[in-house]
Structure 1
Amino acid sequence: MIDTIIFDFGNVFIDIDYNATQTALKSLGVKEWNSELDALNKEYEMGKIDELQFIESIQKYTDGADLISIRSAWNALLLDFPLYRLEFLQMISSKYRLFLLSNTDSTHIDKFEHKVGQSFARDFYSCFEKVYFSFEIGKRKPDENTYKYVINSHNLTPKKTLFVDDRLENIEGAKKNGLLTWHLNPEVDDVTNLLEIIKTFHD
């Protein structure tokens, strides 16, 4: 019987369009997303560098774009967070132990909170027993230690815990820790289908 759910954030609750950021960065002169930028992104997501260091590092790949334009381009991927998803989360929060575990950075979280407003963000966060952002805990999925950190911090039972994520590599990492998983495809699935998914584990 599932008693705990660990959710990803992007493309589970808030809609994400990675191409929007790629397009916006290209318009500033970033020719391609290369391995150096990818490594930089991971460092930022793990809190190893701060926002200014991250944006100034991207600036070197632009045609002299200013920092505010780069920050705006970086946040272009953040789309809507439909109210019905928050209402669904509030509805199930009394039935399950809920956690949020997201690979993200402070720039995206600041933008999210500004975009939806303080009361919406507060209502969202309050649905969870604990919110884990990679930049705050210095760990990111799919590193197995990231899942262990959450499991051990709350004495969770993996076989009673469902992990929900839109990225296959994160699902695989969760499976290695014995967690039940739902690989949510944002093209066809919605987090509000969760209770139907849970039924399949109980059949």
Structure 2
Amino acid sequence: MSSYRYTTLILDLGDVLFTWSPKTKTSISSRVLKDILNSPTWFEYERGHISQEECYGRVGGAFSLEPSEIESAFKQARASMESNEELIALVRELKAQSNGQLRVFVLSNMSQPDYEYVRTLPADWSIFDKVFPSALVGERKPHLGVYKHVIEETGIDPRTAVFVDDKFENVQPARSLGMRGVVFDKYQDVDRALRNIFGDPIQRGRTFLCNHANDRSTVLHTEENFNENHAQFLIADLMGEHNFTVVPDGLETWNYFRERKLFRKPVPDDLDTTSIALTVLRRDPETAKIVMNEMLRCRDSGGIFQTYFDDKLLKVDPLTNVNVLTLFHTYDRGTEVQEPLEWIRSVLLHRAYIGEPQFWPSAEYFLYFVFRLAFCTTELALLKTLLADRVAERVGADGNALDLGFRLLMCARLNVENKVDLPKLLDLQCADGGWDGEYVYRFSVPGIKVSNRGLATAAAVRALTAVRQGHP
């Protein structure tokens, strides 16, 4: 989703596509062998300016070693080389997914004898469109000339190229010419980065949701799983369909929990989950009317809705009131709930959603539900204007995938410019196509925090779709 679509991948050979060991059975230690590889003489050798015999002779003089011992050490080092089959398989997969659009090149600091040896090793060389060893180019990384040579020889636009190397000093010049640079450290990080760069984030996210449609459990901070209704309804709401989750139906009121084993005492059904359920399921007006009438009996003396369908649990939460308001306005009964609407306007006006709220994890979480309220009716134009101002204040703020997804979605629909958060969200996509759930809810009494990857992924997919479409 960058300004340019990436169609070129340039990879290093040593310590990227191939691994090797500097340990040999000669008198030359690993440290000395690496010092030789970083010597001016070896650099000349890799540029193709001197022969192997001359190189070994000069190195022998500089390090007080016999050329024959040097030759033996490097033969053993060559013999230790093994192809990185995981990376090669990934490149093959990315190339296949591109329908012929992805070109793959190799650019490596390597002498001609070493290159000729490497080409004899078992590896799928067919996935590479061309290999550029420094000895045949006449220059080595990080000299700018070697990168310019590859650009000229291949005719690529560097702005559409991704360069991968295990040394930052080699990646930086590529970036200076417009390429996107990836430093190879851990394979898992590179795997994730390349999938995010070359894959379609929306399609990958939707595939993740489809593959896990029957596994939407929420995870406690203790890494235990439990089933609940709240996230399931939100996933269905964000995706606009029920195929991506298991949505419970057939009830009049709903409970946050599907299984009530977290607490010693049963938790009663709540107005929050029930309101979201009724707006997502769009139950018949008569059923919704019965439930809303029951909700009207769950208000305090000031007209503010309490959280539970239980007058013994007198808890009041702004977020619950936002979702009840959305329900009432969805069924054209907004005139009956003016007191909570004024309260929510005041919360928004004075930014009372920022800080350490009792249940919701972030400002974006609260603002998203106000966003749902503002867009469920045409009667809340002033609220929508105030919301746009508050969302604009959040652009560029820290946040996890769920925060960024909600923020980008709201910005897209409210016409708030946001160019800084999109790259952050894209970079957070995992190799399996989903986004990490992180902290999406917490319970005040036991101090439990919970996360849900499905919810974070649904928010990200919805946001990226809105950004791509460029319309409300």
Q: Same fold (TM over 0.5)?
A: yes
Partners of 1:185 and 1:196 in 2: CA distance: 17
Q: Which residue of 1 aligns with 2:15?
A: 11
Corresponding letter in the other structure for 2:9 = I
Task: Say if 2:100 is the partner of 1:98.
Answer: no
Cα 1:81–1:153 change in 2 (3 A) is same
- Deviation of 1:128 after TM superposition, in Å, equals 1.5
Write out per-residue CA displacement over residues 107-164 of structure 1, whole angstroms, 9 at most, x where no aligned residue: 43244345x3xxx24x32x211111000111011111111111112222111111111
Q: After superposition, where does 1:41-120 map in structure 2 within 5 Å?
A: 41-61=42-62, 65=66, 67=68, 69-75=69-75, 76=77, 78-94=80-96, 95=98, 96-114=102-120, 116=121, 120=122
Partners of 2:93 and 2:17 in 1: CA distance: 14
3-state SS of paired residue (1:60): helix
Partners of 1:129 and 1:110 in 2: CA distance: 17
More deviation, 70-79/52-61: 70-79
- Deviation of 1:74 after TM superposition, in Å, equals 2.6
Cα 1:163–1:31 change in 2 (3 A) is closer
TM-score normalised to structure 1 length: 0.77
Write out per-residue CA displacement over residues 54-88 of structure 1, whole angstroms, 9 at most, x where no aligned residue: 11222334666352x32231352753214333333
Task: Say if 2:35 is the partner of 1:33.
Answer: yes
Write out per-residue CA displacement over residues 10-66 of structure 1, whole angstroms, 9 at most, x where no aligned residue: 11111144x537x95635xx699379x711011000000011111122233466635
- Deviation of 1:176 after TM superposition, in Å, equals 1.3
Partners of 1:71 and 1:34 in 2: CA distance: 12
> Which of 14, 18, 23 is 1:20 aligned to?
23
Corresponding letter in the other structure for 1:112 = V
Partners of 2:158 and 2:181 in 1: CA distance: 10
TM-score normalised to structure 2 length: 0.36
Partners of 2:176 and 2:23 in 1: CA distance: 32
3-state SS of paired residue (1:26): coil
Q: Which residue of 1 aligns with 2:140?
A: 140
| Structure 2 unaligned residues grouped into runs of 5+ | 200-425, 430-463, 465-472
Corresponding letter in the other structure for 1:71 = E
Q: After superposition, where does 1:168-179 map in structure 2 within 5 Å?
A: 168-179=168-179
How many residue pairs are counted as aligned between the two chains? 192
Q: Which residue of 2 aligns with 1:153?
A: 153
Partners of 2:34 and 2:183 in 1: CA distance: 28
Instruction: Tell me, yes or no, if the aligned pair for 1:55 and 1:71 is still in contact at 8 Å.
Output: yes
More deviation, 41-50/149-158: 149-158
Partners of 1:188 and 1:153 in 2: CA distance: 31
Instruction: Tell me, yes or no, if the aligned pair for 1:165 and 1:171 is still in contact at 8 Å.
Output: yes
- Deviation of 1:188 after TM superposition, in Å, equals 6.2
| Structure 1 unaligned residues grouped into runs of 5+ | none
- Deviation of 1:90 after TM superposition, in Å, equals 2.6
If asked which structure has higher relative contact order (CA below 8 Å, sep 6+), I would say 1
3-state SS of paired residue (2:35): coil
Corresponding letter in the other structure for 2:157 = T
Point out the structure with max Rg over C-alpha: 2
Partners of 1:54 and 1:156 in 2: CA distance: 34
Corresponding letter in the other structure for 2:137 = I
